[in-house]
Structure 1
Amino acid sequence: MSRYIPESLRTLVREHDKGYCAYCRSPESLSLVPFEIDHIVPLSRGGETEFRNLCLCCPICAVSVQ
């Protein structure tokens, strides 16, 4: 992730996604590592670092959606 995401925005995304990966719906509570905050539309494609373009993403999906 190349752009800083404020902690308050990270918290909103985690609450919105209820602790589940937005792609595969795996629960973060069962993971050994914290989930990432992912840009749905990548920054390289013009996506913005704003709530409507962010989601919670597990490590497996983070690798596969790139």
Structure 2
Amino acid sequence: MSAPPLDDPDLPLAEMMTHWPQTVPVFLSHRMLCVGCLINPFHTIVDACREYDLDEIAFVEELKAAVSGGR
């Protein structure tokens, strides 16, 4: 099964972290509790950024850098 697009607004965090485990340190660096949270199968990047008052575009760029090995 191919991975969905990382910036898919409907992609649940749990699925994203399963496909790209290298994104986990990005969440941890922002002190986000999304890793291991029982809600992460239902929350998206949009939800998490709203919850933690983060700039969504900048956060997605950090995630993309982590996936590409640039973090």
Q: Same fold (TM over 0.5)?
A: no
More strand per residue: 1 or 2?
Answer: 1
Could you state the TM-score of these two structures normalised by the residue count of structure 1? 0.28
More helix per residue: 1 or 2?
Answer: 2
Could you state the TM-score of these two structures normalised by the residue count of structure 2? 0.27
